[in-house]
Amino acid sequence: MTWTITPEPADSPDAVALWRSYYTEVSDRWYLLHQDRTTDPAELEREIAADTGKDLALLLLARHDGTPAGTAGIRRTPDPTTTELTRVFLLPHLRGKGGATHLVAAAEQAARALGATRMILDTRSDLVEARALYARLGYEETEPHNSDPYAEHWFSKRLT
């Protein structure tokens, strides 16, 4: 079993399908936790269409044995030495096989190539797997760096 990670246009069919899977999972988890329901299908379609990924400096796509498996995005910030990690996602059946570590490492390498010396990110309390991953990879919790209504934890890592 091998992982490959390559840049991918955010509007490619593979990237769009993975974005749909990512957004569906995190949205459903939030609604189930807070409103005891899954995401309304019309809302899901509206939100997926509204966030196309065009604001990303780079989208990385992980493939497991050649099959699309996950993504990680890099967004530039007003500070040219800082980039934001976003859209880190692996299909559920491929978790625990090292793909997330490869994705984040590739994103960090790409951020360095863009001139970044620091990576920031945010996540939610219910995404405990994500928080554990970031802590394991050397990210430290920080003060908020944005006002995203769904962000509950903010992390930062020096890219040395």
Residue 1 has pLDDT above 80, yes or no: no
Q: How far is CA 83 from CA 50, 99, 108, 143, 155, in A?
A: 22, 21, 9, 16, 12
Residue 48 has pLDDT above 90, yes or no: no
Residue 52 has pLDDT above 90, yes or no: no
Provide the 8-state DSSP code for 53: S
Percent of the chain with pLDDT over 70: 99
Give pTM, 2 decimals: 0.93
Intra-chain end-to-end CA distance of the chain, in Å = 30
Residues 6+ apart with CB under 8 A from 132: none
Residue 130 has pLDDT above 90, yes or no: yes
